[in-house]
Structure 1
Amino acid sequence: MKKVIIGVFVLFLAVPNVINAQVQKEKVLGDTAKYLLLNMNLQKEITDAVDYMYNFDFRKAEVEFNWIKYNFPEHPLGYFLYGISTWWQMMPNLEKESPLGEEFLAHMDTAIAKAEAMIEIDKDNIEANFFLAGSYGFQGRYHSEKKNWGRATNAGRLALKYLERTHGNESFSPEILFGDALFNYYSVWIREEYPLLRPVLFFFPKGDKKLGVEQMKTVATNAFYTRVEAIYFLMRIKAFELNETFDALRWAEYMNEQYPNNPYFHRFYAQMLYTAGQFQDAERVSLEIMSRIKDGKVGYEEMSGRYASFFLADINRKRNEWDKAEAYYLQTIAYSNALELEESGYHIYSLLHLSEYYVQEQRYDEATPMLDKIRDNTKRKEETNKKARELEKEIKKKKR
């Protein structure tokens, strides 16, 4: 935590020097438009900063965000971008407890306070309502990741309140459409996936999943501040909900090319290559990930390693190259244990494939504890549990 605070303090100290070195910026910006979201000169000036952020060069990005805070101290934009920057620092493993969580919430709280001050002057200020909806929306995502359901629900309720005020104003800016897109898709998705929540959602307006996807495509190709966030959701929807693997792969390849140092996009690209059966490329990309973990690159840690090592293990298993496959499966198990993700599919299938191999090689003493772990972490009706019991029976027969 001290390092984070010191880093932020250093950035604040650096702001006057940055501004002195870039006095021409004020001339470029000229008279600020009423709405910063519409200020194209500002967008041009901070394009590199946004790219730095998504490419995990947070220090360079935040120097620029501090410039925004310095020049527009009463506007939520700088604080909102700082919040997103902190969010992406946590993104490689959102389940992991981190002091960055409180820092993220503080940035979004400040953005909310700045936007509320704007609302007091003009209740219908579209831009202020956009930042309120976005800030509360991000806080809701954070609390849902942490399973703080009460806080997540309250943040979501407030996000929807302000989203309703911006609804129908997408002609103002493609940024506005992002909230509508998310609501249209996920309001239906939640009803479908979580039927117990339907009574809670009864009084909420109904969405339209197909429209939500089309809106997200529009944001992904036309927005500036929310473009990458829209692509993130679009990739996940296409990959895991619409089963449009090759479309998801196309987006994943594009994002990996745009932001080659982003560990989330890197591993998502590897996952889509593996899912699409493009094993040679999946192996190459997974090896890149493992190399970056070894080198201690920012954001590359156990979660990325769990994905990459499993893909490498399974690719080598399919080739019947068990020396490599065994080592990578064991690595996947180690990463899963470190992350306390023993019930995850990557962990369970690593245990199962190794157990099958050990039974085949008559290494029963190594297979038995793995089969016990499979049974402990799966339900009896699950296929992996059934296979584990079958292998246990096979071991008993062979030991007689």
Structure 2
Amino acid sequence: MIKKLSTYIIPFLFIVVSCCPKNTNGGIPVFSTLSPEKSYREIQQHIYHFRFKKATEELKAAKQLFPSNSLTYLAEVNLLWWLIITEPENKNHLINYQNTIDYAIGQIEQKKALPGNIDEFALMNLYAFRTRIDVGNGEYIKAVRSLSSCIGRIEKSLGHENEFEAFCLTSGLYLFATDYGSQKYPLLKLYTLLYPKGDQAKGLDLLARGFQSDDSILKVESAYFLMRIYAHVTEQPYAAFPFAAWLSKNFPENMIYQFYYYELLQIVDPNFDIKSLQPTITLIEQNQQLSPAQKCYFKKLFSVNLKN
């Protein structure tokens, strides 16, 4: 039951909503002198565009300048997750991912000052990631504790989306997933009675609001989850396709987004031709930011799963 619950309730990824004015500082990358928020945004954009080497370099600078900031921890965890899903054979990524999550949770929890919205947002995401690891390891008692810590923080943030726009993502995912999961799996209904009631329609509305946001990261994350929900949860490919098309257009180097786009294109376009994949395969080969293992993984992913 916990494995099913984690599938529908755990929110993923993270966003921030503030930017700071530019500054300069010798040879250190310019992004690093702005603020933890700006640093996080730059790293995130490199990830979206599959510039993993640049993201790694800038994360190193961020860890020197903002070693104990919640957003630095989130940037590192997020980068590691993308390395895991783009190079699944490298087990070191998973080990580093788990260790970084545990360390980050411990450091943020130990802060003497009352946590602000960003700290709370970081913790709810980190506990969600921790839950996923616990479930994957078959440690279900730990998973329950981690999930409870995650949902407990989401509960406090519900209704505060106007104060902190990033909560549109976590609140939206929680409301949708709790309602959907309890309806699809009756056994989950008993568990979800312990937490705020879900609402699929309201959850989707909040995610749609996130997609309309001027915040670039919130927009991307909302588009991704709306695509995944419509494509793989409610099985509405025509509703999912506009979000997949938007992600594909804005991040042509991102092979995760491209894969979902072509997966849906096969369904919505009766004239789909596998030859249309060739420019994407070429991008994989030309991207010097990808390791040989990553290139091999994506070429195999496309060739095995996408066929006429």
Give the TM-score range, shorter chain: 0.7 to 0.9
Specify the code of the residue in structure 1 equivalent to 2:254: N
Residue identity over aligned pairs, in percent, reads: 19
Contact 1:55 1:262 survives alignment (8 Å): yes
- Among 127, 148, 153, the alignment partner of 1:157 is 148
What is the DSSP-based 3-state SS (H/G/I as helix, E as strand, rest coil) of the residue aligned with 1:61? helix
Give the drift of 1:54.
Answer: 1.8
In structure 2, C-alpha distance between the alignment counterparts of 1:248 and 1:22, rounded to whole Å: 41
- Equivalent residue number for residue 300 of structure 2: 305
The answer to whether the aligner puts 1:62 opposite 2:56 as a matched pair is yes
- Equivalent residue number for residue 329 of structure 1: none
In structure 1, C-alpha distance between the alignment counterparts of 2:100 and 2:132, rounded to whole Å: 15
- Listed as ranges, the matches of 1:268-287 within 5 Å are 268-285=260-277
Give the drift of 1:74.
Answer: 2.4
- Equivalent residue number for residue 20 of structure 1: 26
- Listed as ranges, the matches of 1:294-373 within 5 Å are 299-301=294-296, 305-306=300-301, 308-312=303-307, 315=308
Contact 1:273 1:281 survives alignment (8 Å): no
- Equivalent residue number for residue 360 of structure 1: none
What is the DSSP-based 3-state SS (H/G/I as helix, E as strand, rest coil) of the residue aligned with 2:77? helix
Higher helix share: 1
- Among 148, 162, 168, the alignment partner of 1:177 is 168
Q: Which runs of 5+ in 2 are unaligned?
A: 1-23
Structure number, greater radius of gyration: 1
Closer/same/farther in 2, CA of residues 251 and 23 from structure 1, 3 Å limit = closer
Closer/same/farther in 2, CA of residues 19 and 204 from structure 1, 3 Å limit = same
Closer/same/farther in 2, CA of residues 58 and 19 from structure 1, 3 Å limit = farther
In structure 2, C-alpha distance between the alignment counterparts of 1:23 and 1:249, rounded to whole Å: 37
Specify the code of the residue in structure 1 equivalent to 2:242: R
Contact 1:177 1:219 survives alignment (8 Å): yes
- Among 118, 131, 151, the alignment partner of 1:140 is 131
> 1:114-150: per-residue Cα shift (whole Å, max 9, x none)?
32133x3215x22221111111112223444555443
Task: Between the two structures, name the one with larger relative contact order (CA 8 Å, sep ≥ 6).
Answer: 2
**TM-score, normalization by structure 1:** 0.61
In structure 2, C-alpha distance between the alignment counterparts of 1:293 and 1:80, rounded to whole Å: 29
Contact 2:179 2:200 survives alignment (8 Å): yes
Contact 2:176 2:201 survives alignment (8 Å): yes
- Equivalent residue number for residue 251 of structure 1: 243
Closer/same/farther in 2, CA of residues 150 and 233 from structure 1, 3 Å limit = farther
Give the drift of 1:200.
Answer: 2.2
- Among 190, 197, 206, the alignment partner of 2:188 is 197
Contact 2:134 2:143 survives alignment (8 Å): yes
Specify the code of the residue in structure 1 equivalent to 2:60: N
Give the drift of 1:152.
Answer: 3.0
Contact 1:286 1:311 survives alignment (8 Å): no
Specify the code of the residue in structure 2 equivalent to 1:305: K
- Equivalent residue number for residue 115 of structure 1: 108
Give the drift of 1:290.
Answer: 9.1
What is the DSSP-based 3-state SS (H/G/I as helix, E as strand, rest coil) of the residue aligned with 2:170? helix
- Equivalent residue number for residue 47 of structure 2: 53
**TM-score, normalization by structure 2:** 0.77
In structure 1, C-alpha distance between the alignment counterparts of 2:138 and 2:254, rounded to whole Å: 25
What is the DSSP-based 3-state SS (H/G/I as helix, E as strand, rest coil) of the residue aligned with 1:168? coil
What is the DSSP-based 3-state SS (H/G/I as helix, E as strand, rest coil) of the residue aligned with 1:99? helix
In structure 1, C-alpha distance between the alignment counterparts of 2:217 and 2:179, rounded to whole Å: 25
What is the DSSP-based 3-state SS (H/G/I as helix, E as strand, rest coil) of the residue aligned with 1:299? helix
- Among 62, 71, 77, the alignment partner of 2:65 is 71
Contact 2:155 2:196 survives alignment (8 Å): no
Specify the code of the residue in structure 2 equivalent to 1:267: F
